[in-house]
A = this chain, B = another copy of it.
């Protein structure tokens, strides 16, 4: 397995990945982050052995694997910085929530040894200090190889995730963005907007609604505490699918609104019953 691993972005995801990695097999981890405090913390916690704010330092470290764990809009710049400093057979992968065009762009810059990856795991927490060693255990990881992906690199990345305890699944990069635009990015947009609406309603009603967090509200909006920069990047990079999903969602909501407004009792009951049954399907 990989003995020298570089992690670019030592936050919650990068940190969790590094701990998972190190608990599986002996390896040396070098961290890169624009934030020196994050590097210090990561080092103190054992998430990395060495680190630098300067990506170029990787030329001396000579990693066998580089893992991108930064917000997705930084990937292209990082790839350009990595391109000329990595040993020729270095495998590069990522933990990003958007694939699609990003995967193809990364291939253009980095070549066939880039393997797109997306572990379906996370919490609303951020920061290396909140890292969870077992975050990926029992969870799915989506890999998005293309016709160009080097099969050996793909196999190695797959084995790595399986060693960590994750169930690997392959998907087309663009299909991935359609699916996760709907089941993950849309719910996050919905949760961020719900908090925004409660702010508006607090102003409108002159009652501090945030004083009444009962009735499932806390659980429901937990994901609105997720990292804003990470989510801004996801929304912008998967823009097309998210806009489609939001439009579809607004039309669902408007239909529900109409059934309530017009007191169409039968149809309203049917709407809620169907939603309930479909929700129960995923238990």
Interface residues of A (CB under 8 A from B): 97, 120-122, 124, 139-140, 175, 178-180, 182-184, 186-201, 204-205, 207, 209-210, 212-229, 231-232, 235-236, 239, 242-257, 260-261, 263, 265, 268-269, 271-276, 278-283
By a CB distance below 8 angstroms, the chain B residues around A224 are 275-276, 279
By a CB distance below 8 angstroms, the chain B residues around A188 are 215-216
Contact across chains for A239 and B215 when beta carbons are under 8 A apart: no
Contact across chains for B225 and A239 when beta carbons are under 8 A apart: no
Contact across chains for B196 and A274 when beta carbons are under 8 A apart: yes
Contact across chains for B210 and A281 when beta carbons are under 8 A apart: yes
Q: What separation, in Å, do the CA atoms of A243 and B236 have in the docked complex?
A: 30
Contact across chains for A195 and B232 when beta carbons are under 8 A apart: no
Question: Quick one: which of B209, B219, B252, B268 contacts A183, CB cutoff 8 A?
Answer: B209
Q: In the complex, how many angstroms separate the beta carbon of A254 from the nearest chain B beta carbon?
A: 7
A119 and chain B: residue at smallest CB distance: B214
Q: In the complex, how many angstroms separate the beta carbon of A279 from the nearest chain B beta carbon?
A: 4
Contact across chains for B178 and A207 when beta carbons are under 8 A apart: yes
Tell me whether A183 and B231 are in contact in the complex, defined as CB-CB below 8 angstroms, given that A178-B207, A196-B275 are known contacts. Answer: no
